[in-house]
A and B are shown apart, each in its own frame.
Chain A
């Protein structure tokens, strides 16, 4: 089987990820912070270490400002619901995933917030000037956008947008679902207020892991309140990070795996991983473009994207192509709208959607060639 669905979840994972989870399961056990015995201390150290690796990867000064969640959707919901108050105004873009759109639209629906949408161009590129045009006229509390589109792989100029936001006293929440581990993210240099990420994609961790970074000075309301192992004599939620936003037992076995995944990424280097992925992406795009009837989406410039490629073959339903690739060629990719209807409207692929290929560092050139050959054969079937 050839796996090109790394934008949904990465596969395979490095062996060290499972080894770390096994080590926790068989040898560590213990819950974090709930007791003071050796097994509890070791579990707490494991969680601490994963937090530190993530802080190193994203250049977060104090790892206590990074809280664990079960996925990036929870991170985004925590940030959006915890930060916005009644009457606040928000900017987002036409390229967003439903993990951003749905929590925002819900708050709009109940009359809590007002949303302004920055329209991306057909390549999925947003212009920082468009954000400034809105900020000049409106008081905006928060700008929410994805670092890279899960449909076209288009990378947004988050550093420029964050700088503009700061100039107008606004804030940024970045959805790094498709970039964390695959493209450099530096919360300090980029000047980000909040960063939401998932553990099971380019960070190589297991499903059920994710996190949210919140800059010092920004306060958000928890989604849940409960036991934290701290301030136990009080019936009021502690305000100290990370405990304030991490009620209940953590996914320690998942965090063990995530720690090993992030360590793997740190050891290999984000830029080296990106190089491998983008070399494959470049070859795929260049050759797919030559196939009659293939329409590619996203930026021409390889530097403006991650290894996510959407395409269509003229005359075919995307699901038909994906089904054929799976059945006849053992190639796994994803057809449809990828939970981002607005992005498909933006690129001109609504309502049919696209076929999405997302390459990872464990893919190779032979697999790319097989898929190009397959696409070529499929495109000829309807001629």
Chain B
């Protein structure tokens, strides 16, 4: 099983902005409640697989979404 990463945001606005951008680029992702051990800036996070991580991050940077990543 490939490693899973969390993309963590500061606001719901950024979560949805990220979701829409990834959806448009057909990059698999899942919105989940932010795990307690990660931190709780925003209640929602994106779970993403390592194989598409770089591609996803590039899209988010391009879109100007504020985020940081954390390994599960």
The complex places the Cα of A47 from the Cα of B10 at a distance, in Å, of 17
Interface residues of B in 4-58 (CB under 8 A from A): 10-17, 19-20, 31-34, 39-45
Q: What is the 8 Å Cβ interface bit string for chain A, positions 153-164, against chain B (1 contact, 0 not)?
A: 000000000000
Closest Cβ–Cβ distance, residue B30 to chain A (whole Å) = 10
Interface residue tally for chain A (C-beta within 8 Å): 25
Contact partner of A45 among B10, B19, B34, B64, CB < 8 A?
A: B19
- Tell me if A263 is interfacial: C-beta within 8 Å of chain B: no
Contact partner of A48 among B13, B31, B32, B41, CB < 8 A?
A: B13
**B33 & A36 in contact (Cβ 8 Å cutoff):** yes
- Tell me if A62 is interfacial: C-beta within 8 Å of chain B: yes
The complex places the Cα of A7 from the Cα of B41 at a distance, in Å, of 42
Chain B interface size, under 10 / 10 to 19 / 20 to 34 / 35 or more: 20 to 34
Contact partner of A233 among B17, B20, B40, B66, CB < 8 A?
A: B40
Cβ contacts under 8 Å, B40 to chain A: 231-233
Cβ contacts under 8 Å, A64 to chain B: 11, 13-14
**B11 & A44 in contact (Cβ 8 Å cutoff):** no
- Tell me if A238 is interfacial: C-beta within 8 Å of chain B: yes
**A231 & B10 in contact (Cβ 8 Å cutoff):** yes
The complex places the Cα of A40 from the Cα of B40 at a distance, in Å, of 17
Contact partner of A242 among B11, B15, B32, B34, CB < 8 A?
A: B11
Closest Cβ–Cβ distance, residue B34 to chain A (whole Å) = 7
**A230 & B64 in contact (Cβ 8 Å cutoff):** no
Cβ contacts under 8 Å, A233 to chain B: 39-40
**B12 & A44 in contact (Cβ 8 Å cutoff):** yes
Cβ contacts under 8 Å, A41 to chain B: 16, 19, 31, 44
Cβ contacts under 8 Å, B15 to chain A: 33, 44
- Tell me if A295 is interfacial: C-beta within 8 Å of chain B: no
The complex places the Cα of A62 from the Cα of B17 at a distance, in Å, of 11
- Tell me if A365 is interfacial: C-beta within 8 Å of chain B: no
Closest Cβ–Cβ distance, residue A250 to chain B (whole Å) = 10
**A238 & B16 in contact (Cβ 8 Å cutoff):** no
Cβ contacts under 8 Å, B41 to chain A: 230-231
**B44 & A48 in contact (Cβ 8 Å cutoff):** no
Closest Cβ–Cβ distance, residue A53 to chain B (whole Å) = 13
The complex places the Cα of A40 from the Cα of B14 at a distance, in Å, of 15
**A35 & B43 in contact (Cβ 8 Å cutoff):** yes
Cβ contacts under 8 Å, A230 to chain B: 10-12, 41-43
Cβ contacts under 8 Å, B34 to chain A: 36
- Tell me if A305 is interfacial: C-beta within 8 Å of chain B: no
Closest Cβ–Cβ distance, residue B50 to chain A (whole Å) = 22
For residue B9, which residue of chain A has the nearest CB?
Answer: A230
For residue A38, which residue of chain B has the nearest CB?
Answer: B31
**A36 & B11 in contact (Cβ 8 Å cutoff):** no
- Tell me if A240 is interfacial: C-beta within 8 Å of chain B: yes
- Tell me if A229 is interfacial: C-beta within 8 Å of chain B: yes
The complex places the Cα of A156 from the Cα of B31 at a distance, in Å, of 46
What are 19 of the A-B contact pairs (CB < 8 Å)? A33-B44, A35-B33, A35-B43, A36-B31, A36-B32, A36-B33, A36-B34, A40-B44, A41-B31, A44-B15, A44-B16, A47-B16, A48-B20, A230-B10, A230-B41, A232-B40, A242-B11, A243-B10, A243-B13
List the interface of chain B (C-beta within 8 A of A).
10-17, 19-20, 31-34, 39-45, 64, 66
